[in-house]
Amino acid sequence: VQLQASGGGLVQAGGSLRLSCAASGRTESSNAMGWFRQAPGKEREFVATISWSGITTYYEDSVKGRFTISRGNDKNTVFLQMGSLKPEDTAVYYCAASAYVSGGYDLLSRARSYDYWGQGTQVTVSS
């Protein structure tokens, strides 16, 4: 499975961005998909995840109410709608596909639960 993330950019605080992640290759597998981010000098952290069906979603506490994860009808595209952006949201955002179809928060918030990773897209929020 190859993942291609796009949609990053420079935005002012309070603004919005929509990230997209397109999966190709062996997409017949049913995968939960997630977004992680890594800021300079920090470890990669969980942002949001969505089950294969799209019914179950989880968010990291700091983005709840501001970010929304969703899947396209073909299941092979995942979106992250980001609103009320803050400077602390500045990071490289990575999409990832899990070997799991669904699961609990503890499972799907761990980077090790994901087998495939995109190349990352830079999000910069200016104050």
Contact 8, 19 (CB under 8 A): yes
Q: What's the gap between Cα 102 and its chain centre?
A: 15
Q: Taking Cα atoms as reference points, which of 91, 104, 78 lies closest to residue 1?
A: 78
Q: Taking Cα atoms as reference points, which of 123, 106, 125, 96 lies closest to residue 31?
A: 96
* Residue 100 pLDDT: 87
* Residue 1 pLDDT: 85
Q: Which residues lie below 8 Å from residue 35, measured CB to CB, with a gap of 6+?
A: 19, 21, 47, 48, 49, 69, 78, 80, 93, 94, 95, 96
* Residue 27 pLDDT: 64
Q: Which residues lie below 8 Å from residue 78, measured CB to CB, with a gap of 6+?
A: 20, 21, 23, 33, 35, 50, 69, 70, 71, 72, 95
Residue 63, both tokens: 């983005």
Q: What's the gap between Cα 42 and its chain centre?
A: 17
* Residue 95 pLDDT: 97
What is the rounded distance in angstroms from the CA atom of residue 12 to the CA atom of residue 112? 32
* Residue 91 pLDDT: 98
* Residue 26 pLDDT: 72
Please list the ranges in the chain whose pLDDT falls under 70: 27-29
